[in-house]
């Protein structure tokens, strides 16, 4: 079940009582533990008839080790796209064989370490495939795949569409002569046993996603015909499921996704290939929210502005692409209870020092006042877990919560960053480095 407004209100009231959000903790993120488990269970149920599936959570969507550990315990694998994400996945307890490494710019060191550990590697291009071949140790347990771009077009959000004609990802399959190059390159390397494609997620209709993944299935069949055997044994169906940010409803569902894939290519999920998925946002978004205090309220040019502590540092996509990433916002009293009418248009502004730091413009909400709280809904993925350090604002605390028998309890996922930790991260221990390292003061005549 998605995290509904009434559930958020109950959790927020208890969070205020426990001192997790308020004057001294003006912004915090929250993850619904039961909601995450239920969503993962729904994913497994939707694919129950597929004989061999690895559901690999896209770590970028919520790179917090306790959340990754929860997902691992719920039966997920993990998709990673950097050395940092690989480290987080291992720290969370994912077995190497349940980790998939995707990235368009892997270093030799990154590839070598993945192959030595037995982590699956999807090469982004034919040059990288050559590099993987040179680095691959004898007897490597790693599954090696090749990412292809079916070039079928984009959805409504260009930045989220990864199968366009000029996408930076994968081998451009429809370019002149490239398909033949791909088939030949794979057949010459019998250790390449996986094909990978990522069509997109938010803003991409299911029909577009399914069309692109069906194209990968056709390529696998073509490789089998050329090789005289079924060389490709698994298909990595990258990309996610669009999330409905307009209300509490979960749409589309994972069952809708499976139906779309089956309609586009009936053989895609029939068991001839192991299937890998890489869902992220759809698993976490509706199972999390951000709460922030209203510090001041003022008028400017006849417009009412509520200055809060939730801005681009915790909602960077919404601030910079508000039309593509609008968030629902509810107004709450200082004790966490929902405010009621009268409603009036208000800007909900963040604390960062640039004019565009707004999470909502002229949003109809009950009148906000100093000390009230605002909640940004459906922010369990890509929001508070992907902190932007502009203005050196500390990363907020993130808490997991569980409701049992009407009582809400919390566990710390990530402590709030202190200002001393901000200074340390910004080189405080090397404060004199530019004065002493070169044997002279930059301001001196000798410099």
DSSP structure string for 56-118: EEEGGG---HHHHHHHHHTT-EEEE-SHHHHHHHHHTT--GGGEEE--SS--HHHHHHHHHHT
Q: How far is the CA of 447 from the CAs of 1, 228, 430, 437, 439, in angstroms?
A: 65, 70, 20, 12, 9
For the record, the structure tokens of 387 come out as 């902190």
Which is more confident, 436 or 142?
142
pLDDT confidence tier of residue 153, bands split at 50, 70 and 90: low
Helix axis angle, 126-135 relative to 178-187, nearest 10°? 10
Yes or no: domain 33-285 corresponds to CATH 3.20.20.10: yes
Rounded mean pLDDT of 357-361?
97
**Is a pLDDT exceeding 70 seen at residue 214?**
yes
**Domain locations in the chain as residue ranges:** 33-285, 287-412
* Helix segments in 265-349, DSSP class H: 281-284, 316-320
Which is more confident, 346 or 156?
346
Rounded mean pLDDT of 312-319?
96
**Is a pLDDT exceeding 70 seen at residue 168?**
no
Q: Identify the CATH homologous superfamily for domain 287-412.
A: Lyase, Ornithine Decarboxylase; Chain A, domain 1 (2.40.37.10)
pLDDT at 294: 98
pLDDT confidence tier of residue 445, bands split at 50, 70 and 90: low
pLDDT, mean over the chain: 92
Rounded mean pLDDT of 146-168?
65
According to DSSP, the residues that pair with 289 across neighbouring strands are 30, 377
* Helix segments in 239-376, DSSP class H: 254-264, 281-284, 316-320
Rounded distance, CA 201 to CA 241, Å?
Answer: 5
pLDDT confidence tier of residue 224, bands split at 50, 70 and 90: very high
Rounded distance, CA 40 to CA 155, Å?
Answer: 26
Cβ contact 310:295 at 8 Å: no
Rounded mean pLDDT of 114-120?
98
Rounded mean pLDDT of 315-319?
95
Rounded mean pLDDT of 131-157?
85
Work out the percent of the chain whose per-residue pLDDT is above 70.
93
Write the pLDDT tens digit of every residue in 48-67. 999 999 999 999 999 999 99
pLDDT at 47: 96
Work out the percent of the chain whose per-residue pLDDT is above 90.
79
């Amino acid at each position: 079940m998605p995290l509904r407004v009434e559930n958020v209100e109950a959790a927020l009231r208890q969070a205020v009582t426990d001192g997790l959000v308020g004057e001294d903790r003006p912004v915090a993120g929250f993850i619904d533990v039961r909601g995450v488990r239920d969503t993962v269970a729904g994913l497994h149920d939707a694919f129950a008839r597929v004989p061999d599936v690895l559901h690999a959570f896209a770590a970028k969507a919520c790179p917090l080790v306790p959340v990754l550990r929860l997902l691992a315990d719920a039966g997920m694998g993990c998709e990673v796209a950097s050395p940092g994400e690989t480290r987080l996945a291992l720290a969370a307890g994912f077995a190497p064989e349940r980790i998939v490494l995707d990235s368009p710019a892997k270093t030799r060191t990154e590839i070598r370490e993945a192959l030595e550990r037995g982590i699956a590697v999807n090469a982004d291009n034919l040059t990288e495939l050559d590099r993987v071949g040179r680095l691959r140790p004898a007897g490597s347990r790693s599954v090696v795949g090749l990412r292809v771009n079916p070039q079928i077009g984009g959805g409504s959000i260009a930045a989220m569409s990864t199968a366009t004609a000029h996408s930076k990802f994968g081998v451009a399959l429809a370019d002149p002569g490239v398909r033949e190059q791909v088939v030949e390159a794979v057949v010459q390397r019998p250790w390449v046993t996986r094909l990978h494609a990522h069509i997109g997620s938010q803003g991409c209709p299911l029909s577009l996603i399914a069309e692109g993944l069906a194209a990968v299935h056709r390529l696998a069949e073509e490789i089998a015909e050329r090789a005289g055997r079924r060389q490709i044994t698994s298909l990595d169906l990258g990309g996610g499921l669009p999330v409905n940010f307009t209300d509490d409803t979960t749409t589309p569902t994972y069952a809708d996704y499976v139906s779309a894939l089956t309609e586009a290519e009936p053989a895609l999920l029939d068991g001839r290939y192991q299937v890998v998925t890489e869902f992220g946002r759809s698993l976490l978004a509706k199972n999390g929210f951000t709460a922030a205090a209203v510090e001041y309220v003022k008028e400017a040019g006849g417009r009412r502005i509520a200055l809060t502590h939730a801005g681009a540092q915790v909602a960077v996509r919404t601030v910079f692409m508000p039309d593509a990433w609008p968030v629902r916002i509810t107004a709450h009293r200082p004790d966490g209870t929902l405010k009621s009418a009268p409603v009036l248009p208000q800007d909900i502004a963040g604390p960062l020092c640039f004019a565009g730091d707004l999470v909502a413009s002229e949003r109809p909400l009950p009148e906000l006042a100093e000390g009230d709280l605002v909640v940004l809904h459906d922010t369990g993925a890509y929001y508070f877990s992907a902190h932007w350090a502009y203005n050196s604002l500390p990363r907020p605390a993130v808490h997991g919560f569980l409701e049992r028998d009407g009582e809400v309890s919390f566990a710390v996922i990530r402590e709030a960053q202190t200002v001393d930790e901000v200074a340390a991260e910004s080189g405080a221990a090397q404060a004199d480095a530019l004065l002493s390292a070169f044997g002279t003061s930059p301001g001196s005549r000798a410099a």
